[in-house]
Amino acid sequence: MKVCVYGSREDEMGYYENREREFNFQLTFTEKMLTPDTVELAKGCTAIVIVTACRIDANMAALLKEAGVKYIASRAAGTDHMDLDAIAANGLKAASVPFYSPSAIAEHTMLLTLALLRNLKREMMHVQRSCFTLDNIRGRELGNMTVGVIGTGRIGERTIQLLSGFGCRILAYDIYEKESVKKLACYAPLDELYAQSDILILHCPLTKENYHMINYESLVQLKDGVLIVNTARGGLIDHRALLDALNGGKVAGFAFDVYENESAFMRKDLEGAEVDDPIFNALIAKAKVLFTSHMSFYTDTAIENMIQTTLENLREYSLTGSCKNELTR
Ligand code: NAI
């Protein structure tokens, strides 16, 4: 089977090369993302591999069909970059990697949470300009906090396990409750979690129902001085409302690995130029705001697992025409 791998990175080649013979695929690689300009690279391929920066809307689904593509293997866990109805309507099938290393994202979430609590960005900025005082640096301890975790799936549960080692009180909210989570956290209705949490951590997928769940109305319900950490999806937050809440002091700190309009700049080296997004720029300029470029997932273990499952998905498609991780059923 001929497969075009979009968004491939130099440091991942070894993983693909080690497995190419085992899977008996003809792989071609491009660093480029899938766009109307690059879709021609998929011509003659039965399948493509994509990353989350490759968006498939109705137009792209039609272009892929025209190029002769049958299967889309997304390397990610999140699926909001694909219009699954449009993919199915064009007779294509798509699969994802439902999990590859929940610990990768959970550990990064802990890193961001602790960095906010200890004012790490401000301290780094101070040290950079040879300022070694303790001014505006005093931190807070996680063990004294109430942490609210929204979404207790694979990643949320792992974060809760890590949090529990710090001795903090953990509240959780999910549309489905899990018995294993109840051993470490208390499920609470969303309004109670909002009212009681010193730190709010988002680990739920982005859906039509929870788009901009953190908005002007919900921000009012949060505790004064709350910290917010989002390693899930940018669309969960109305960033204009959050910027206002940071400016007004309602929110004391914000760490994010994902941003609603990130596809405009993510994975690009803009060489010191500003991103064309005044809200994003105002956010990342703040000492109390930390941004990492959608790299929570990016560990050696995660990449290896992600590529392995992607190739297994494609092998299943090539042998049976369907796949256990299929999204377009
Ligand atoms: P999962 O499918 O194991 O768990 C998601 C949980 O969220 C489920 O328990 C589900 O019931 C719950 N949920 C769904 N809608 C909800 C809502 N409206 N309110 C509260 N809970 C809701 O997914 P997993 O592996 O834990 O991943 C969670 C999300 O993390 C992904 O959907 C993705 O958006 C994001 N992610 C981010 C990465 C990064 O690099 N920053 C990497 C991987 C995932």
Give residue-wise pLDDT tens across range 178-220: 999 999 999 999 999 999 999 999 999 999 999 999 999 999 9
Centroid of ligand 1 to alpha carbon of 123 (angstroms)? 32
List the structure tokens of 306.
């992600």
Mean pLDDT of 18-38: 92
Judge whether 64 lies within some domain: yes
pLDDT band at 268 (very low <50, low <70, confident <90, very high): confident
Same structural domain for residues 156 and 254? yes
Same structural domain for residues 133 and 240? yes
**How high is the mean pLDDT of the chain?**
96
Same structural domain for residues 66 and 162? no
Same structural domain for residues 44 and 172? no
Judge whether 246 lies within some domain: yes
Mean pLDDT of 283-312: 96
Q: Give the structural domain span for 81.
A: 2-100+299-320
Same structural domain for residues 41 and 162? no
Nearest CA to ligand 1 atom 9: 153
Ligand 1 site residues, Cβ closer than 6 angstroms: 77-78, 99, 102, 105, 150-156, 173-176, 203-207, 209-210, 231-233, 257-258, 294, 296-297
Number of domains within the chain: 2
* Pairwise CA distance, residues 12 & 4, whole Å: 15
Residue 75 has pLDDT above 90, yes or no: yes
pLDDT band at 20 (very low <50, low <70, confident <90, very high): confident
Phi–psi pair at 99, nearest 5 degrees: -155, 150
Judge whether 329 lies within some domain: no
Question: Structure pTM?
Answer: 0.90
- The predicted pLDDT at position 312 comes to 96
Mean pLDDT of 115-128: 98
Residue 69 has pLDDT above 90, yes or no: yes
Judge whether 328 lies within some domain: no
Same structural domain for residues 124 and 261? yes
Contacts for 74 with CB less than 8 Å, ≥ 6 apart = 49, 50, 51, 52, 81, 82, 94, 95, 96, 97, 310
Judge whether 33 lies within some domain: yes
Nearest ligand 1 atom to the CA of 178 is 9
Same structural domain for residues 210 and 258? yes
Centroid of ligand 1 to alpha carbon of 151 (angstroms)? 6
Burial class (CB in 10 A: 0-12, 13-18, 19+), 320: exposed
User: Considering 75, 154, 294, 312, which one is annotated as catalytic?
Assistant: 294
Which residue type occupies 238? D
Same structural domain for residues 13 and 143? no
Centroid of ligand 1 to alpha carbon of 231 (angstroms)? 10
User: Considering 123, 157, 260, 262, which one is annotated as catalytic?
Assistant: 262
User: Would residue 316 show up in a list of annotated catalytic residues for this protein?
Assistant: no
Residue 11 has pLDDT above 90, yes or no: no
- The predicted pLDDT at position 77 comes to 87
* Pairwise CA distance, residues 52 & 50, whole Å: 7
Contacts for 198 with CB less than 8 Å, ≥ 6 apart = 145, 146, 147, 223, 225, 226, 227
Centroid of ligand 1 to alpha carbon of 77 (angstroms)? 8
- The predicted pLDDT at position 85 comes to 97
Nearest CA to ligand 1 atom 5: 153
Given the DSSP bridges, would you call strands 169-173 and 146-150 parallel, antiparallel or unpaired? parallel
User: Would residue 141 show up in a list of annotated catalytic residues for this protein?
Assistant: no
What percent of the chain is predicted at pLDDT more than 90? 90
User: Would residue 294 show up in a list of annotated catalytic residues for this protein?
Assistant: yes
- The predicted pLDDT at position 17 comes to 85
Judge whether 210 lies within some domain: yes
Residue 18 has pLDDT above 90, yes or no: no
Phi–psi pair at 62, nearest 5 degrees: -65, -40
CATH number at 18 reads: 3.40.50.720
